[in-house]
Homo-oligomer: A and B are copies of this chain.
Amino acid sequence: MAKNINIGMIGYGFMARTHSNAHRKVNNFFDLEYRPVLKTVCGLVEAEAKAFADKWGYESYTTDWKKVVEDKNIDLIEICVPNNMHAQVALAAAKAGKMIICEKPLALNVAQAKEMVDAVEKAKVPNLVSFNYRRVPAVTLAKQLIDQGRLGRIFHYRANFLQDWTISTDVPQGGMATWRLDVKAAGSGVTGDLLAHCIDTAIWQNGSIKCVNAMTETFIKERKNVETGKVEPVGIDDACTFFCRFDNGSLGNFESTRYARGHKALYTFEINGEKASIRWDLHDLHRLQYFDHRDEGIIRGWRSIHVSDGDQPYMKKWWVPGLQIGYEHSFVHQIADFLEGLATGKPARPTFRDALETQKVCEAVLTSAKTGQWVNIPS
């Protein structure tokens, strides 16, 4: 019989839903030694915390996150609150000896991130940052193909994360639904929210980034703040483009924006190697595009791989070939791997320490955008 892991969920927003769903489903599909139990959910507004608990089957709810962190019955703290809350919750949870799964980006800045890494490592608590896209099967498959050396020497890494939901001046900043536009809550705009995903995947697939050169822009300069009710300057980056050099000699080109009309969440990456290339696109996340130069010339072409077969990552756990899974499943895989890591002693990644690397790149990107200069990533 599986051992229970009692979950304390901090937050009841969008990410709390994705994580709760993952906890509820994981043991139906994966054979694991551990089983998450939805114990407590915590949020600012009591009625909403209660409603969330009812909806998802949490045994209790509270508005005081410190209580959850200190609760003896809780094994694992889920941090699904705005970025400016990550550090304080994580530090307290580490101190209380809890396992931690934290939403991305890890922190508001590198200094804070380092403190968090130190805390979890000192406390020796299992820790994970929720860069969920690593665990979309097609993305995991891409990583496997790279690790198998199929691409050969890498020349180019290219990633975009394009959205269009903030084009209207009517979109406010601050509050529950739009805190991502408020620099105080979010720390940055697309860089921390979207490029952080691209950078995490890139480092995982292609190794460390050596130096970056960036440009950012804030297209809409002021927006109403729903908390203050006033029109205030917008402090985040609406768009960010950067190029970089990886340690392996390849060149990177990254771009993110919330002003690309027609793209809801178009996270794409492409890797060009000497022997083969790979492309992926979140809007059709169950497909991987693969070009292998070693294929016979007259029938060489980009292969559209429908990643739904039992021998492709994670897919044996789900349905049958041809039947696709979706966005939410990346979170199920994440918790499955985390629990598997507990059982095997080989922790799932990215850990807080891994996420610190992404934080360093994000910070360098923002610095470069301000100075107009190349910035090296500190080791």
Q: Contact between A262 and B239 (Cβ–Cβ < 8 Å)?
A: no
A155's contact among B24, B239, B287, B372, by CB below 8 Å, is which?
Answer: B239
Nearest B-chain residue to A283, judged by Cβ = B306
A325 touches B326 (CB 8 A): yes
What 0/1 readout, one digit per residue, does chain A (155-198) give for beta carbons within 8 Å of chain B?
11010001111010000000000000000000000000000000
- Indicate if the CB atoms of B308 and A264 lie closer than 8 Å: yes
A104 interface residue (CB < 8 Å to B): no
Q: A165's closest neighbor in chain B, by CB? A: B321
Residues of B contacting A274 in the complex (Cβ-Cβ under 8 angstroms) = 167, 261
Given that A264-B321, A285-B324, A328-B325 are contacting pairs, would A272 and B301 also be in contact in the complex, using a CB cutoff of 8 Å?
no
Within 8 Å CB of A243, what residues of B? 215, 241-243
Q: How many Å lie between the Cα of A362 and that of B322 in the bound state? A: 24
Contact with B along A282-326 (1 / 0, CB 8 A): 111111101111010111111111101101100000111111111
Residues 261-284 of A, flagged 1 when their CB comes within 8 A of B and 0 if not, give 111111000101111110000111
Interface size class of A (residues with CB under 8 A): 35 or more
Identify A373's interface contact among B155, B284, B372, CB under 8 A: B372
Pair B291/A301 contact, Cβ less than 8 Å: no
Q: In chain A between 21 and 44, which residues have their CB closer than 8 angstroms to a CB of chain B?
A: 21, 24-25, 27-28
How near does chain B come to A129, taking the closest CB pair, in angstroms?
Answer: 19
**Are the CB atoms of B141 and A298 closer together than 8 Å?**
yes
- Which of A94-102, A112-120, A250-258 forms part of the interface with chain B? A250-258
The reply to whether B25 and A25 form a contact with Cβ atoms under 8 Å apart is yes
| A239→B251 contact, CB < 8 A | yes
Q: Does A377 contact B (CB under 8 A)?
A: no
Q: How far is the CA of A298 from the CA of B306 in the complex (A)?
A: 10
Q: Complex formed: what's the CA distance from A286 to B286 in Å?
A: 11
Contacts of A21 in B (CB 8 A): 25, 28
Q: Which 9 A-B pairs have the closest CB atoms?
A: A264-B322, A265-B322, A262-B291, A301-B305, A301-B303, A323-B327, A326-B326, A155-B259, A264-B321
20 contacts between A and B (CB under 8 A): A14-B319, A20-B28, A24-B25, A28-B56, A141-B298, A145-B299, A155-B260, A156-B239, A156-B259, A163-B322, A217-B251, A243-B243, A251-B257, A253-B253, A262-B302, A264-B323, A282-B323, A284-B287, A304-B304, A323-B327
A304-B301 contact given A156-B257, A326-B325, CB 8 Å threshold: yes
> Would A156 and B298 count as touching, CB distance under 8 A?
no
Q: Does A50 contact B (CB under 8 A)?
A: no
A329 at the interface (CB under 8 A from B): yes
Q: Does A219 contact B (CB under 8 A)?
A: yes
- B-binding residues in A (CB < 8 A): 14, 18, 20-21, 24-25, 27-28, 55-57, 141, 144-145, 155-156, 158, 162-165, 167, 213, 215, 217, 219, 239, 241-243, 245, 251, 253, 255, 257, 259-266, 270, 272-277, 282-288, 290-293, 295, 297-306, 308-309, 311-312, 318-329, 372-374
| CB atoms of B322 and A283 under 8 A apart | yes
Residue of B with least CB distance to A158: B255
Given contacts A24-B28, A25-B25, A274-B167, contact A156 B322 (CB under 8 A): no
CB A353 to nearest CB in B, in angstroms, measures 28
Selected from B264, B292, B306, B372, the residue in CB contact (under 8 A) with A306 is B264
B299 touches A372 (CB 8 A): no
Flag if B291 contacts A309 (CB, 8 Å): no
